[in-house]
Amino acid sequence: MTAPAVIHHRQFANLPNGTRLHYASAGEQGRPLILFVHGFPEFWYEWENQLAEFGQTHFAVAPDLRGFNLSSKPADVAAYKPKHLVEDLVQFIRVLGYERCVIVAHDWGGALCWNLAAQFPEAVERLVIINSPHPYVFARALASDPAQQQASAYMNWLRKPGSEQAMAANDFALLEKMLTGDASTVPAWFVGETRAKYHAAWSQPGDGGSHSLTGGVNYYRASPMHPPLPGEPAPDISRLDPSAYIVRVPTLVIWGESDRALPKSLVDGLEEFVPDMRLERIPEGTHWIIHEQPERVNLLIRSALP
């Protein structure tokens, strides 16, 4: 059995757009690049098991996205518009010395990488998406599906002023609850050193003295996607061009079907937008399937590689 690859971090990439991204890596630069892109409220460490595995065969890299942990954390909401976040990833790939790569992404990272693959297919050799809805499918569900609107109601709470202070209160009690759910016992993956690392990441100050969690919350504030508030009309998606959201790169979608915020109905009709797609369902998996079953996730990712 091959030994896990050594993970290196405290590495930084200065992008042409002025963003500074911290990242962790494993394996030798010059090998094929596999990029791991985290979601909210996580950071590069979400991918610790994947870096150790894929660093054996690839240059495996996991950045902290803009707004998270040790990367740039501008306070301005406008700095988190999707176009800027996608630009970060395109520039990051090039700064690492590559033109294209395999991308594995979860949650908000997946939202960005669906868009990246649609807009810059030449940069994506293969795409692996884990519990992250396709943007057009999600917009359609937020506009017309009452169950999805209810499941996504937390997004409107996160958009409100002061949500970051509320999540940080009582030693990040609410933020922890997002990761661990309502279970009476904390999941085995979120204990000890892992919990300490998350608390340290959540405590990193924002740029210009902004709150440590403002960057991550600004993803929700800057996004046009959210369920209608009580009394508001449903979002009008008629101005969206479905053809602009077609992803033509080979794609593997891994879906934990016990995700409470992103139900399995979000993969219905996905082949309309991703013609070269394989879907792997994990009925007992939650939104945090990467942590719950890392070896199974690794095997599935490996099966998608060229």
Q: Is residue 1 in some structural domain?
A: no
| Pairing between β-strand 251-256 and β-strand 20-26 as defined by DSSP bridges | unpaired
pLDDT tens, per residue, the chain with 306 residues:
688 999 999 999 999 999 999 999 999 999 999 999 999 999 999 999 999 999 999 999 999 999 999 999 999 999 999 999 999 999 999 999 999 999 999 999 999 999 999 999 999 999 999 999 999 999 999 999 999 999 999 999 999 999 999 999 999 999 999 998 876 778 999 999 999 999 999 999 999 999 999 999 999 999 999 999 888 888 889 889 999 999 999 999 999 999 999 999 999 999 999 999 999 999 999 999 999 999 999 999 999 999
Number of structural domains in the chain: 1
Q: Is residue 2 in some structural domain?
A: no
User: 108 lies in which domain range?
Assistant: 7-304
Q: Which residues contact 8 (CB under 8 A, 6 or more apart)?
A: 24, 25, 26
Buried b (16+ CB within 10 A) or exposed e, 173-187: eebbebbbeeeeeee
Q: Is residue 248 in some structural domain?
A: yes
Q: Is residue 236 in some structural domain?
A: yes
Q: Is residue 117 in some structural domain?
A: yes
For position 239, which CATH number holds? Answer: 3.40.50.1820
Residues classed as catalytic:
107, 220, 287
Q: What is the distance between the alpha carbons of residues 35 and 23, in angstroms, rounded to a whole number?
A: 10
